[in-house]
Amino acid sequence: MKEIAFDNDKYIELQSKHILERISKFGNKLYLEFGGKLFDDHHAARVLPGFQPDSKLKMLLNLKDEVEIVIAVSANDIAKNKIRSDIGITYDAEVLRLIDAFRGTGLYVGSVVITQYANQSSADVFKAHLEHLGIKVFQHYVIPGYPNNIPMIVSEDGYGKNEYIETTKPLVVVTAPGPGSGKMATCLSQLYHEHKRGIKAGYAKFETFPIWNLPLKHPVNLAYEAATADLNDINMIDPFHLEAYGVTTVNYNRDVEIFPVLNAMFEKILGESPYKSPTDMGVNMAGYCIVNDDAARKASSEEILRRYYAAKVDFKIGHTTEDTIKKIELIMSQANITPLERRCVIPALQKAEETDAPAFAIELPDGSIVTGKTSSLLGACSAALLNALKALGNINDEIPLISPNIIEPIQKLKVNSLGNHNPRLHTDEVLIALAISATTNPVSHLAMQQLDKLKGCEAHSTVILSQVDVNTFRKLNCNLTCEDQYQTKKLYHR
């Protein structure tokens, strides 16, 4: 099992207290730009073992009576059908999912703001759909010269043209389906409109990474760079904080570059800037809750390697550029790690060489590794999954968990009735077959009981897997990587 590196309870307590303190500094009205994922933050959970994916959500629930959610989504992203890659849905669909998730916990979602609006027809359709669902929608427009033409931006022809978002709570959390959605611009536009109305309000930023009070090249911060390699985010020392306080802190290039502009906007809107540095704007307390630095370093190094393999696959399928790979390779050299240090990689490659076919390896919680090979009945990942369940349940390897009498009818259905060319069972089909077997076979039932133990396990495939298999391992919370090779030489792959 991975060593715990993070005190989650301390984090929720500290973070809640710190945000309340920041609200009190701004006349009891704070617009909080929420970077990263508000819940389902699996990156943070991987690099800081002990961090719970819903930690930030629980923190907000501590402030439930004070909080209102505003979700920002870019009209350009709606028009492009931009996908949230980790869960495979479009940004407009993600807005609906977010609303449901927040409401499901009892948090109040006040409205949605469509940013960068310039009469995109798809944005108009989405706005009408939201309003039909009873959700308040506001529009913010493209501002010529943004972000450098401050006189234009902070004027009636800039922020003044944006619709004022009506809010009722002291803490307004502005979140979004992903980066580039216009969260910061939404917060600043609101400051402009609040100031016009004589309401004192403030702005703060909540980004989990980079962690400002860890060293610049700490693996936790390097893992953040690897995760955002395609966005060209670079961690750097905050020069404004160093000059103002003589203290070294870490921020990232976009916040450092935009800070002089933000400062000028604050001065124009509020009369003076409340902050001397980008670090000042942040409210993140995560650095104070790391309880095992060695464990955090190890987990973060593993994450960098996962990001490297993911980038190579993304490049192969045309979703990123080679520059992303080169940037992560540089990060790996700074962290002093190499791709083959991912423990499940070499066993998978060796099995593929032995069988001259795709292979798969899973590292179990005790550090042991099981493999799977391609057969006429099962793909390599399906075979490895069953072998892992056997190992976790101390089941004799010679005992079949699923009878061929169950597998063969499923294969015939796939090929003869559903038009599939590949008769081998995908992982989801294998699990369904196992569940059927478990109703009459106690050994299969024992194997089914081991599924939860796969959470946090590391897995590697020697070929790019189908989306079905990728989704199955994601649902099992198993950390999957793949070699950047297809099983066939076809140009079109599903």
| 11-53 per-position pLDDT tens digit | 999 999 999 999 998 888 999 999 877 778 889 999 999 999 9
Section 325-352 average pLDDT: 97
pTM of the model: 0.90
What are the domain boundaries of the chain? Answer: 8-289, 343-482
pLDDT of residue 308: 98
Which CATH number does the domain 343-482 belong to among 3.40.140.40, 3.90.1150.10, 2.40.30.10, 3.40.190.10? Answer: 3.40.140.40
Indicate the SS3 state at residue 352.
Answer: helix
Euclidean distance between CA atoms 130 and 461, whole angstroms: 41
Identify the residue with better confidence: 413 or 427: 427
Reported as a single tens digit per residue, the pLDDT across 218-257 is 999 999 999 999 888 899 999 999 999 999 999 989 889 8
CB-CB contact of 179 with 254 (8 Å): no
**332 Cβ partners below 8 Å, 6+ apart?**
304, 305, 308, 338, 339
Which one is the CATH code of 8-289: 3.30.1540.10, 3.10.630.10, 1.10.10.10, 3.30.465.10?
3.10.630.10
Q: Inform me whether the pLDDT recorded for 491 exceeds 80.
A: no
pLDDT of residue 151: 92
Q: How far apart are the C-alpha atoms of 177 and 407, rounded to whole Å?
A: 40
| φ and ψ of 425, to 5 deg | -80, 135
* Range scoring the smallest mean pLDDT among 36-40, 45-49, 162-166, 259-263: 36-40
Task: Indicate the pLDDT class of residue 391, thresholds 50, 70 and 90.
Answer: very high
